[in-house]
C-alpha cells in the first residue's frame, strides 16, 4: 500500500539536511509558485523539484501519489474551463454534433490557462511538502518546531495526524472486507451512497476514538508534553546546509529580478 | 511498591461498578498476574494501580492506592506518576508515535533528564533486552504484532521505572511471539523489576508468577500462590480450558461432494509471494483447523473462499462454482467469514439490528425467526437490545459469529475466534461451533491454540511460508 506522506528511512542527501534548511525551502518554493503565473516557469519548477527528489534518492516515493495528483489536475482544469470562460474558444467539452446539449460548454484559452497554472501550483506545493516529510524524521520536526516556539501540543497533533494516516487506511480496509463478507451493499444514487457509508465509518471512528485514548495516556506517561529534554543526536547546521541556503538565496534574488522584469 | 486497599470504581454514566472492593499488594521485585473473564475489570485494575484512574478519569472512586510509598493523590500529574510507573497498554499500534523503532525509544529517553551518554547506553541495553536490533530502523507499518508489542514494552522500559504494569501484552500474538515476551519479562524480573501482569496465557508465565489473582465481575475471587489458587477446579478450568470432552461423534460425511476445492492456488501481494501451490479439498460437515505462525498465509488463504482476494494463479471452487465467476455478494450466501477483531464490524445501535444487517443484505426469508435462533445459539437473547460495543469481548465474539450464522452460509470460516478470551469463554465459542457442525455446517477455524486444534478439529492443516506442510486427521 502506498504510504501517504510518511517518513522513509534512508541515508541520502535530503535526509542529511537540517530541518530548517528544508523548511526555508518549502517557504521559498511556495512563495515562488504563488507569485509566478508563467506556465513554462512553473513547469521548470516541477522538473527542478523532481530532479531534487531524484538527487535525494526519494523520486519513487515522491511519485507515489502521482495518480491522485493527475486526477485532481483534470478536475481543476475542468472546473476552471467551466467557471472561468475567457478569451478565444478553441473547442467544446461536449462536441457540437451532440443534439440538444452539444456545444454548451466552450473551452476557452483563458479558462484553460488558469486551470493549467492552478494545477502546476498545486503540484509544486504537494511535491515540496512531500520532499520535506519523506526526508525528515518526526523527531527532528519536533525539535525544529520546538526551537521556533511552536507549542508542543500543536507539534504532537501535527505529527500524530500524519502518523496515523496509514493506520486508518489499513483499518478502513479491514472493516470494508468484514462488511463485504456480510453482504455489504455499496449503494446506488447519492442518498444510497451516503447511507451505505455508516457500516464503514462508524466502526472506523469508534475504534479510532478508543485508540486515541490509549495514545493520549501514552503521550502523558512518556512525558512528551513536559517540554524538558536532553539534547541527543540533534541535527546541526553543516556545510551542506550553508551551501543549499546560499543557492536558495541566489535563486530567490533571481526570481525577484525576473518578477521585476515582468518575465514570470 | 503498589498497594490497593478496598478500591471500588464506577465509570461515569454507568451503574455497575467496574471494580468492587479490590485489595492487592505488589511487593518489590515480585510479579503478580491477574486473570479472569473478559469484561471482569482487568483493564480498570491496571488503570487504578497505575494511578491513571485517579488523575484522568471521572466517575465514583473509593479506597486508596499507594504507588511507591505515596498515595496517588499526592502525585501532581500523570507525568509525575510516570517517574515511578510504566504502563504497557494492549493496543501496541497506539503506543507507537514516531516512525522508526529507534526514534521511538530515543524520544522516550530524552524526557528523563539523563545525560546524552547515559541515553545512548540505555538505548543499547534496552534494544538488546527486547531483541530489537535487527528492526531498529523499521517503521511501525512494517512490524508484526509481536514486534510492535516489543517496541511498546521497550519504550516503556526506556522510562527506567522499577514498576511495570502490562495489560494483555500477548493477546494477539502467536505461541512463538508470546514465548519471546515471556522470556523478556522473566529477564526483567531478574533485573529487579516489579511486575503487574494482566494475562490469559498463564502457562507461558508460570515460572515467574509469585501471586495469581482471579478477577471476576470487578471483584477478586481468589488470590495467592499460583499452586494453591489452581487447586480450585473451577479456576483451573478458566486458566487451563479442558477441550478433551468436546468431541462428539459426528457421523463422518461419507463420499459427499467437496464444498471447497482449491487447485494449485498461488497469491502474491505485489512482488511478495504469500501463497504458493496450495491444493486442498474440504467436504461438507468437516471441522478443519488451520494452524501456523503469524504471516504463514492462513488469513490470505481463507480470504480466497469468498473472493475478498482473487487467486494470482490456480482456482478456488466453492460448491461447484469457480470463485472467479462469482461476486463477493454471491459467495456470502455460501461462505461466512468471521474476522479476528469483532470490533471491525459493529456499527448498529443494538445487538438485534447488528444481526439483522446481514440477513437483510442477503434477503433471507423468515428473517425474524432466523435472527432469534442466532441470538439463542450465541446465548445473547437477553442482550438483544444492548449496544454491541458495551458487551464483553467474549460476548462480542459470539455476536460476531451470530451475525454470520444468521446469514445461513453452509461454510463458516473463523479467524482466531478465541483471542482475548478466558478458558470458559473460549469453550463457549467452541461449543457453539460444534453445534453448528452438528447441524451440517462446514467449520474452518484459524487458531494459534494447539489444544483447540487437536481436541476439536477433525482435521489439522499446518501452514508455513505460504504452503501447506501437513494435512492430517485430528486426534
pLDDT at B475: 55
Burial tier of B350 (Cβ tally within 10 Å: 0-12, 13-18, 19+):
middle
- Alpha-carbon gap, residue B237 to A98, rounded angstroms: 77
Distance from CA of A83 to the nearest CA of B (A): 41
Give the position of cell 518578477.
Answer: A259
Cell for B79?
A: 507525568
Same domain, A173 and A85: no
Q: What is the pLDDT of residues B27-53, one digit of tens each?
A: 999 999 999 998 899 999 999 999 999
In a domain, A42, yes or no: yes
- In chain A, residues with a C-beta closer than 8 Å to the C-beta of B113 are 228, 230
Write out the three cell numbers for B289.
Answer: 483447523
Q: Which of residues 143-182 of B touch A (CB under 8 A)?
A: 155-156, 158-159
Q: What is the pLDDT of residue A147?
A: 87
Q: Are A258 and A264 in contact (CB under 8 A)?
A: yes
Residues 6+ apart with CB under 8 A from A21: A237, A241, A244, A245
CA dihedral angle for residue A221, residue A205, residue B100, residue A174, rounded to 10 degrees: 140
Going by C-alpha positions, the residue among B220, B253, B237 that lies closest to residue B443 is B253
CB-based contacts of B43, cutoff 8 Å, min separation 6: B90, B167, B198
Among B198, B215, B202, B167, which residue's Cα sits nearest to residue B7? B215
A166 interaction partners in chain B (CB closer than 8 Å)? 141
Best of B58, B100, B141 to disrupt the A interface (most A CBs within 10 Å) is B141
Confidence of residue B8 (pLDDT cuts 50, 70, 90): very high
Q: Cell for B115?
A: 545525560
User: What pLDDT shows up at residue B249?
Assistant: 60
The answer to whether position A142 is within a domain reads no
C-beta neighbour count of B120 within 10 angstroms:
15
Same domain, A126 and A160: no
Q: What is the rounded average pLDDT of the residues B224-233?
A: 93
Q: With a cut of 90, say whether residue B124 has pLDDT above it.
A: yes
Q: Is A181 in contact with B306 (Cβ distance < 8 A)?
A: yes
Q: Quote the minimal CA–CA distance from A99 to chain B in Å.
A: 38
Domain hosting A205: range is 149-233
Task: State whether A230 and B337 contact (CB < 8 Å).
Answer: no
Asked whether residue A182 is domain-assigned, the answer is yes
Q: Do A92 and A119 lie in a common domain?
A: yes
B143 Rama class: left (phi>0) / alpha (psi -120 to 50) / beta: beta
Measure the CA–CA gap between B475 and B462, rounded to whole angstroms.
Answer: 14
Please name the residues between 28 and 87 in chain B that touch chain A, using a CB distance below 8 Å: 52, 56, 77-79, 81-82, 85-87
Touching A: B residues 279-318, CB under 8 Å? 303, 306, 308
A208 shares a domain with A249:
no
A117 and A178 within one domain: no
Q: Which of B114, B120, B407 is opposite residue A182, by nearest beta carbon?
A: B407
Q: What is the pLDDT of residues B73-82, one digit of tens each?
A: 999 988 889 8
d(CA A124, CA A46): 6
How far is it, in rounded angstroms, from Cα B456 to Cα B431?
9
From A134, A139, A137, A135, select the one nearest A222 (Cα to Cα): A139
Q: What is the pLDDT of residue B253?
A: 57
Q: Which residues pair with B470 in a beta bridge?
A: B462
ipTM score here? 0.88
CA B377 – CA B399 distance, rounded (Å): 10
pLDDT for res B221: 95
Residue A143 lies in a domain: no
Q: Taking the C-alpha atoms of B147, B134, B448 and B393 in order, what is their torsion angle to the nearest 10 degrees?
A: 0
The CA distance from A88 to the nearest CA of chain B, in Å, is: 48
CA dihedral B388, B392, B396, B397 (to 10 degrees): 180
Using CB atoms, pick whichever of B109, B155, B389 lies closest to residue A206: B389
Residue A235 pLDDT greater than 60, yes or no: yes
Task: Determine contact, residues B328/B306, Cβ cutoff 8 Å.
Answer: yes
How far apart, in whole angstroms, are the C-alpha atoms of residue A7 and residue A10? 9
More confident of the two residues A197 and B164: B164
pLDDT over threshold 80, residue A195: no
Where residue B289 falls among pLDDT bands split at 50, 70, 90?
A: very high
CA dihedral defined by B367, B371, B373, B379, rounded to 10 degrees? 180
**A209 Cα to chain B: minimum distance (Å):** 11
Q: CB-based contact (8 Å) between B228 and chain A?
A: no
**If contacts are CB pairs under 8 Å, which of residues 407-446 in chain B contact chain A?**
407
Q: Which residues of B touch A145 (CB under 8 A)?
A: none
pLDDT band at residue B343 using 50, 70 and 90 as cut-offs: very high
Q: B91–A214: do the CB atoms touch at under 8 Å? A: yes
What is the percent of chain B where pLDDT is above 70?
98
Is 70 exceeded by the pLDDT of residue B254?
no
User: How many structural domains are present in chain A?
Assistant: 2
Chain A partners within 8 Å of B100 (Cβ): 7, 9, 137
Q: At what angle do helices B367-377 and B423-438 cross, to 10 degrees?
A: 140
Name the residue of chain B whose CA is nearest to A204's CA.
B344
Q: Which has the higher per-residue pLDDT, B415 or B248?
A: B415
pLDDT attached to residue A5: 83
N- to C-terminal Cα distance for chain A?
39
pLDDT interval class at A91 (50, 70, 90):
confident
Cβ pair A225:B114 closer than 8 A: no
Say yes or no: A118 and A243 in one domain: yes
The 10 Å CB-count burial string (b at 16+, else e) for A135-154 is bbbbbbbbbbbeeeeeebee
Average confidence (pLDDT) over B226-254: 81
Q: Which of A3, A175, A230 sits opposite B116 (nearest CB)?
A: A230
Q: Is A144 among the domain residues?
A: no
- What is the maximum span of chain B, computed from C-alpha positions, in angstroms? 73
- B390: which 3 cell numbers? 458495551
- Kindly state whether B93 is in contact with chain A, defined as any CB-CB distance less than 8 angstroms: yes
User: How distant is the Cα of B475 from the closest Cα of chain A, in angstroms?
Assistant: 32
Q: Are residues A100 and A217 in the same domain?
A: no
Say if CB B337 and CB B308 are below 8 A apart. Answer: yes
Nearest to B345 among A171, A178, A232 (CB): A178
In a domain, A141, yes or no: no
Based on the domain organization, do A180 and A238 belong to the same domain?
Answer: no
Contact A211 B94 (CB under 8 A): yes
Give the DSSP letter of residue B70.
E
Residues A42 and A105 in one domain: yes
Which residue does chain A place closest to B86, by CA atoms?
A: A221
pTM, entire model: 0.86
Residue A58 domain flag:
yes
pLDDT tens-digit readout, A117-169: 999 999 999 999 999 999 999 999 998 988 888 999 999 999 999 888 888 98
- For B164-200, the pLDDT digits (tens) are 999 999 988 888 889 999 999 999 999 999 999 999 9
Cell of B239: 486458566
Same domain, A120 and A170: no
A147: CB partners within 8 A, 6+ apart: none
Q: Do A232 and B159 touch (CB under 8 A)?
A: no
A123 and A243 belong to one structural domain: yes
Residues A132 and A220 occupy one common structural domain: no
Q: Answer yes or no: is A55 within a domain.
A: yes
Confidence of residue B252 (pLDDT cuts 50, 70, 90): low
Amino acid at each position: 500500500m502506498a504510504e501517504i506522506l510518511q517518513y522513509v528511512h534512508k541515508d541520502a542527501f535530503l535526509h542529511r539536511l537540517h530541518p530548517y534548511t528544508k523548511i526555508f525551502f518549502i517557504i521559498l518554493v511556495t512563495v515562488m509558485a504563488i507569485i509566478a503565473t508563467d506556465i513554462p516557469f512553473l513547469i521548470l519548477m516541477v522538473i527542478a523539484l523532481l530532479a531534487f527528489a531524484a538527487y535525494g534518492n526519494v523520486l519513487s516515493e515522491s511519485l507515489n501519489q502521482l495518480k491522485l495528483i493527475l486526477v485532481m489536475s483534470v478536475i481543476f482544469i475542468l472546473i476552471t474551463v467551466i467557471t472561468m470562460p475567457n478569451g478565444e474558444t478553441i473547442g467544446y467539452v461536449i462536441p457540437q454534433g451532440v443534439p440538444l446539449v452539444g456545444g454548451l460548454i466552450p473551452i476557452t484559452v483563458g479558462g484553460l490557462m488558469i486551470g493549467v497554472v492552478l494545477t502546476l501550483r498545486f503540484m509544486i506545493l504537494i511535491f515540496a511538502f512531500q520532499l520535506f516529510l519523506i526526508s525528515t524524521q518526526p523527531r527532528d520536526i519536533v525539535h525544529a518546531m520546538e526551537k521556533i516556539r511552536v507549542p508542543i501540543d500543536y507539534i504532537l497533533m501535527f505529527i500524530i495526524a500524519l502518523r496515523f494516516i496509514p493506520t486508518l487506511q489499513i483499518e478502513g480496509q479491514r472493516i470494508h472486507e468484514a462488511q463485504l463478507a456480510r453482504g455489504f451493499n455499496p449503494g446506488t444514487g447519492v442518498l444510497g451512497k451516503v447511507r451505505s457509508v455508516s457500516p464503514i465509518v462508524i466502526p472506523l471512528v469508534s475504534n479510532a476514538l478508543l485508540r486515541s485514548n490509549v495514545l493520549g495516556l501514552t503521550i502523558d506517561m512518556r512525558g512528551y508534553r513536559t517540554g524538558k529534554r536532553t539534547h541527543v543526536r540533534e541535527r546541526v547546521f553543516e556545510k551542506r546546509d550553508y551551501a543549499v541556503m546560499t543557492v536558495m538565496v541566489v535563486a530567490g534574488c533571481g526570481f525577484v529580478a525576473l518578477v521585476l522584469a515582468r518575465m514570470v | 511498591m503498589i498497594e490497593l486497599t478496598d478500591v471500588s470504581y464506577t465509570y461515569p454514566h454507568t451503574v455497575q461498578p467496574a471494580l468492587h472492593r479490590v485489595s492487592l499488594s505488589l511487593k518489590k521485585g515480585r510479579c503478580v498476574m491477574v486473570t479472569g473473564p473478559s469484561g471482569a475489570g482487568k483493564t480498570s485494575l491496571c488503570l487504578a494501580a497505575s494511578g491513571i484512574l485517579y488523575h484522568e478519569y471521572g466517575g465514583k472512586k473509593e479506597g486508596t492506592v499507594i504507588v511507591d510509598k505515596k498515595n496517588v493523590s499526592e502525585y501532581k500529574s500523570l507525568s509525575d506518576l510516570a517517574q515511578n510507573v510504566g504502563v504497557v497498554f494492549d493496543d501496541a499500534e497506539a503506543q507507537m508515535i514516531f516512525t522508526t523503532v529507534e526514534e521511538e525509544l530515543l524520544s522516550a529517553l530524552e524526557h528523563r533528564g539523563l545525560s546524552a551518554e547515559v541515553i545512548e547506553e540505555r538505548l543499547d541495553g534496552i534494544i538488546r533486552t527486547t531483541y530489537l536490533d535487527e528492526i531498529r530502523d523499521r517503521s511501525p507499518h512494517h512490524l508484526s504484532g509481536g514486534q510492535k508489542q516489543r517496541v511498546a514494552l521497550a519504550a516503556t522500559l526506556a522510562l527506567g521505572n522499577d514498576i511495570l504494569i502490562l495489560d494483555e501484552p500477548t493477546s494477539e500474538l502467536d505461541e512463538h511471539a508470546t514465548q519471546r515476551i515471556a522470556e523478556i519479562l522473566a529477564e526483567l524480573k531478574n533485573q529487579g523489576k516489579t511486575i503487574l501482569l494482566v494475562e490469559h496465557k498463564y502457562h507461558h508465565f508460570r515460572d515467574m508468577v509469585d501471586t495469581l489473582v482471579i478477577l471476576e465481575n470487578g471483584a477478586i475471587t481468589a488470590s495467592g500462590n499460583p499452586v494453591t489458587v489452581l487447586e480450585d477446579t473451577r479456576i483451573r478450568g478458566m486458566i487451563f480450558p479442558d477441550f478433551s470432552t468436546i468431541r462428539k461423534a459426528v457421523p463422518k460425511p461419507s463420499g459427499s461432494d467437496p464444498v471447497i476445492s482449491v487447485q494449485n492456488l498461488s497469491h502474491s501481494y505485489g512482488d511478495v509471494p504469500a501463497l504458493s501451490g496450495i491444493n486442498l479439498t474440504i467436504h461438507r460437515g468437516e471441522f478443519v483447523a488451520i494452524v501456523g505462525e503469524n504471516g504463514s498465509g492462513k488469513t490470505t488463504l481463507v480470504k480466497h473462499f469468498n473472493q475478498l482476494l482473487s487467486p494470482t494463479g490456480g482456482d478456488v471452487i466453492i460448491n461447484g462454482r469457480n470463485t472467479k465467476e462469482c461476486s463477493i455478494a454471491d459467495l456470502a450466501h455460501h461462505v461466512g467469514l468471521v474476522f479476528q477483531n469483532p470490533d471491525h464490524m459493529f456499527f448498529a445501535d443494538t445487538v438485534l439490528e447488528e444481526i439483522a444487517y446481514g440477513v437483510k443484505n442477503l434477503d433471507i426469508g423468515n428473517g425474524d425467526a432466523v435472527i432469534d435462533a442466532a441470538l439463542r445459539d450465541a446465548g445473547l437473547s437477553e442482550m438483544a437490545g444492548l449496544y454491541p460495543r458495551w458487551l464483553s469481548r467474549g460476548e462480542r465474539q459470539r455476536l460476531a459469529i451470530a451475525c454470520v450464522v444468521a446469514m445461513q452460509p453452509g461454510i463458516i470460516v473463523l479467524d482466531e475466534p478465541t483471542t482475548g478470551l478466558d478458558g470458559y469463554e473460549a469453550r463457549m465459542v467452541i461449543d457453539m461451533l460444534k453445534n453448528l457442525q452438528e447441524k451440517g455446517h462446514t467449520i474452518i477455524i484459524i487458531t494459534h491454540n494447539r489444544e483447540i486444534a487437536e481436541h476439536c478439529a477433525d482435521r489439522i492443516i499446518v501452514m508455513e511460508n505460504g504452503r501447506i506442510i501437513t494435512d492430517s486427521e485430528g486426534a
